[in-house]
Structure 1
Amino acid sequence: MELNEIRSRLADLKTAHLADADQRLRVMNSAIRPLQTGLKLIGSAYTVNCHNDFLTVIKSIQEARSGDVIVIETQGSVLAVAGELLSTEAMQKGVAGFVIDGAFRDTASVRAMNFPVYAHTFTPMSGTSKRIFHTREVVECGGVEVRPGEIIFGDDDGVLVLSLEEATRLIPVAEEIKARDERVLARLQEGVSLYDLINFDEHWQKIEAGEKSELTFTVDQG
């Protein structure tokens, strides 16, 4: 599956669909939260390593390709490594968004830009611009490993990291899950009980008996 197709098909999915397709996926921890809800973040990872200094982040914005997501490991920084100015520059250059395992600032201004930013925390205090760090190397962000070029997919529920192989394998499964969920939701909106659309009794009895079982939908899959 080509990258453009991956991006297009992910745009119609939720992170929850991918997580249901494979619960072993790399999911950034819940401390990495979106600055603004209602936006999706999809792109290839341009990785950055820095600490309380944004000089290398400026470099990454200049080098990133349109559609890249700048993923920043800050080694526990307490000072902001990006804000309104860098977000404006990144947006104008076609960068898809930021994921920062560290601090961000100028939140109100950037929220009004509709530019996807995920961060660990926020502070008015800016980092320095005096130290050179690494780009395009493996980083740890939100508790998971991110390799340059991997797919970053974020929405209000959080951020997933996918290899190209994982995306190619799991997107069709996630699309089936989405279609099933839509059928279930339609039945619920018709007044059907969720209880009647799942194998609750059978599943409960097996669990109670110490047997293996899976809670599944019984709604028509056609």
Structure 2
Amino acid sequence: MIEEPPLLTIRKDFPRPTAAQVDAFRGVPTGFVCDAMDGTGALSLSIRPIGDGRDIDCTACGPAICADNGPADLLATLAALHHVQEGDILVAGADAHQGCAAAGDRVMGMLRNRGGAGFVTDGPMRDYAGIVSVGVPAWCTGLTPASPFAKGPGTVGRSVLIGGREVRSGDMIVADRDGVVVVPFERIDEVIDRLARVRELEEALDADVEKGFCEPLDFAEMIADKRAVFVD
């Protein structure tokens, strides 16, 4: 027989990136971050900028604070608001439930008041006009007018499975109009180091394209070693 869990389980202290580490990701495109992790780290494309970024500048980076809610619930999200620090990104899991909103404009307003830098969820949101007025960047699966409950159980400050990945509190979140990327806490310095090379390669290719470059494959070599063939 299963025992009733506590309504809330909260981890208040978890490792956090330094201000310098956060600053190293500021303004960096999510594509660069993925490249620095060998193409990994992106959440599912179902999690996208609210309103496709039409009315809010959906760019943010900062430490994740995770709220693991059950379907149709937001108790853990509400509890997480008590523990959000300046610059945090609240990552609210809803088990990918699409039947009601994971949060609305009042939650976004309280997140703004706590100094939160953004909100990420695997459910839809509601109160679009109010969210735009609040102005906190958000990433979700869409919009719905239906409201969630606040019954629990849930956890705060641990981890959450969202968008096909495990996100742990303290991981780095980098998000823009292309989507959301998660950098595991223990890889932050490694990824920062690799970003310089990624940027160098990107800028070099951009310069070549501006000069007219349009043939990225060496077809002569591919024909010679039979990796490519011409047919009638």
Q: TM-score, normalised by structure 1?
A: 0.83
Which blocks of at least 5 consecutive residues in structure 2 are unaligned?
1-16
What letter corresponds to residue 54 of structure 1 in structure 2?
L
- Cα distance in 2 between the residues matched to 1:64 and 1:44: 10
Which residue does the alignment assign to 1:71? 91
Match of 2:62 in 1: 43
Structure 1 CA distance, aligned partners of 2:158 and 2:134? 29
CA distance in 1, matches of 2:219, 2:113: 55
Q: Give CA deviations for 1:166-199 in whole Å, capped at 9, x if unaligned.
A: 221122222222233223223332x32232xx45
Gap regions ≥5 residues in structure 1: 211-222
Residues 198-217 of structure 1 correspond to what in structure 2 (within 5 A)? 198=216, 200-201=218-219, 204-205=222-223, 208-209=226-227
Alignment match, 1:150: 171
Q: What is the aligned length?
A: 207
Q: Is the 8 A contact 2:105 2:134 kept in 1?
A: no
Q: 2: CA distance between counterparts of 1:203 and 1:116?
A: 47
2:81 to 61, 64, 73: 61
Contact 1:6 1:168 in 2 (8 A): yes
Q: 1:118-133 residue pairs with structure 2 within 5 A?
A: 118-133=139-154
Please give the alpha-carbon distance, in whole angstroms, between the structure 2 residues aligned to 1:148 and 1:203. 48
Residues 79 and 179 of structure 1: is their aligned pair in 2 closer, same or farther, counting only changes over 3 Å? same
Q: Is residue 108 of structure 1 aligned with residue 129 of structure 2?
A: yes
Aligned match for 2:45, one of 26, 30, 33 = 30
| TM-score of the two chains, using structure 2 as the length reference | 0.80
Supply the AA of the counterpart residue of 1:185. Answer: D
The one-letter code sitting in structure 2 at the alignment partner of 1:52 is: A
Question: How far apart in 2 are the matches of 1:154 and 1:18?
Answer: 10
Q: Which has the higher helix share?
A: 1
Partner of 1:185: 206
1:62-111 C-alpha deviation (Å, 9 max, x unpaired): 11111111111112332112111110110111111111111211123313
Tell me if structure 2 keeps the 8 A contact 1:150–1:161. Answer: yes
Secondary structure of the structure 2 residue equivalent to 1:102: coil
